[in-house]
Amino acid sequence: MKILVTGGAGFIGSNFIHYWLKNHPNDEIFNLDKLTYAGNLKNLEDLQGSPNYHFVLGDITNVDIVRDMVRKCDLIVHFAAESHVDRSIIDAGEFIRTNVLGTQMLLQAAKDFDKRIHHISTDEVFGSLDLDSKEKFNEKTPYDPKNPYSASKAGSDHLVRAFYDTYGISMTISNASNNFGPYQFPEKFIPLAITNLLEGKKVPVYGDGLHVRDWLYVEDHCRAIDLILNQGEIGETYCIGGSTQDVNNLTVVKKIIEILGTDESAIEFVKDRPSHDRRYAIDWTKAKEKLGYEPQADFDQYLKQTVEWYKNNQSWWQEIKSGTYQEYYQKQYGG
């Protein structure tokens, strides 16, 4: 099978490509990525020259490239997006362009060439849960996005479903919670905290630090996508979450500090993010019952593994933090 992966040079996309080729070595992957600040070919360095992996530099809003790639492939797994909430608050433009317009380009091509598309989305489209409620998001939760990033992802989800309802395209959607693990850009909370602590810097904690995320290890997410691609029902949405719920941001930093053996004086409370969602939690019963999905370890074990990875791969994140990582592809692609 030939799979078009969009955004495969980013965090989840590169983990997915590694996961997929390990578990499906006879498939061929075409990675279409624009290499924005978040795309890093070092994430896939070990696959360079491999006969079943191909990198294609391109933008998902470029209709010619998109149509050419969709035509050549059997299946699309769509990760490409602007993904950082804080950046969307500063400037929403690229979020609308890539996340909404780019998704529409892929959908149009999927429709025209009759190809299946799996759309990777987020639980952030459902908005915010109260800290003291026991409520969780599920596939029937109404959409209620509260920042430009989640609004742009909600827009893309609605388009995917509208293309299914209107034209009967072959699609599935997954709404996953916050991922963490190897190759995550260190602007996101967990890698930012780990790398700042390794550098002896402070960890900025927004507001009171009591915001809760449903942490999902990236490999569990990749396994869930595999299950959806192989056993998921066309036209369905699946919510994917992690093993540990109701861990707040302050607790996450304290756990990382404990693993690293540093001290809590590194925690610095800073001004809160505007419209900061208080709590996310996912009820992944449907994925469990229909697909047999289940996280394979608990949060503490995965967090230890993740801290270990950042300790052992310091040049990977140091190049990002110093900005030199983009020279690597500029040399190859003149970007």
Tell me how far apart the alpha carbons of residues 119 and 238 are, in angstroms, rounded to a whole number: 11
Shortest reach from residue 27's CB to ligand TYD, in Å: 30
Does residue 149 carry a catalytic annotation?
Answer: yes
Q: How many CB atoms lie within 10 A of CB 269?
A: 12
| Number of Cα atoms under 13 Å in the Cβ half of residue 54 | 14
Nearer Cβ to ligand NAD, position 236 or 262? 236
* Contacting residues toward ligand TYD, per CB under 6 A: 85, 124, 178, 188-189, 192, 204-206, 211, 213, 249
Which member of 53, 59, 82, 149 is catalytic? 149
Considering only residues 18, 111, 153, 211, which one is a binding residue for ligand NAD as defined by CB under 6 A?
153
Select from 79-87, 104-112, 161-169, 250-258 the region that touches ligand NAD (CB under 6 A).
79-87
The DSSP string of 95-162 is: HIIIIIIIHHHHHHHHHHHT-EEEEEEEGGGG--B-TT----B-TTPPP---SHHHHHHHHHHHHHHH
Residue nearest to ligand NAD (CB): 10
Which member of 59, 124, 214, 277 is catalytic? 124
Select from 32-40, 255-263, 294-302, 313-321 the region that touches ligand NAD (CB under 6 A).
32-40
Shortest reach from residue 209's CB to ligand NAD, in Å: 19
Nearer Cβ to ligand TYD, position 192 or 240? 192
Site for ligand NAD in 80-109 (CB under 6 A): 80-83, 98, 102
The residue type found at 206 is: Y
Site for ligand NAD in 210-249 (CB under 6 A): none
Quick one: 225 exposed, middle or buried, by C-beta within 10 A (0-12, 13-18, 19+)?
Answer: buried
Query: Torsion-angle region of residue 295: left (phi > 0), alpha (psi -120 to 50) or beta?
Result: beta
260 Cβ contact list (under 8 Å, min separation 6)? 194, 197, 198, 307
Q: Which of ligand NAD, ligand TYD, none is residue 205 near (CB under 5 to 8 Å by kind)?
A: ligand TYD
Nearer Cβ to ligand TYD, position 37 or 206? 206
Inter-residue contact 19 to 47 (CB < 8 Å) = no
Q: How many CB atoms lie within 10 A of CB 86?
A: 13
Select from 139-147, 174-182, 272-280, 294-302 the region that touches ligand NAD (CB under 6 A).
174-182
**238 phi and psi angles, rounded to 5 deg:** -130, 130
Q: Which of ligand TYD, ligand NAD, none is residue 206 near (CB under 5 to 8 Å by kind)?
A: ligand TYD
Binding of residue 192 to ligand NAD (CB under 6 A): no
Which member of 123, 219, 220, 226 is catalytic? 123
Shortest reach from residue 228's CB to ligand NAD, in Å: 13
What Rg value do the Cα atoms of the chain yield, rounded?
19
Does residue 86 carry a catalytic annotation?
Answer: no
CA torsion angle 238 274 146 76 (round to 10): -50
- Which residues does the annotation mark as catalytic? 123-124, 149
Q: Which parts of this chain interact with ligand NAD (CB under 6 A)?
A: 6-7, 9-13, 33-36, 38-39, 59-61, 79-83, 98, 102, 120-122, 153, 176, 178-179, 185
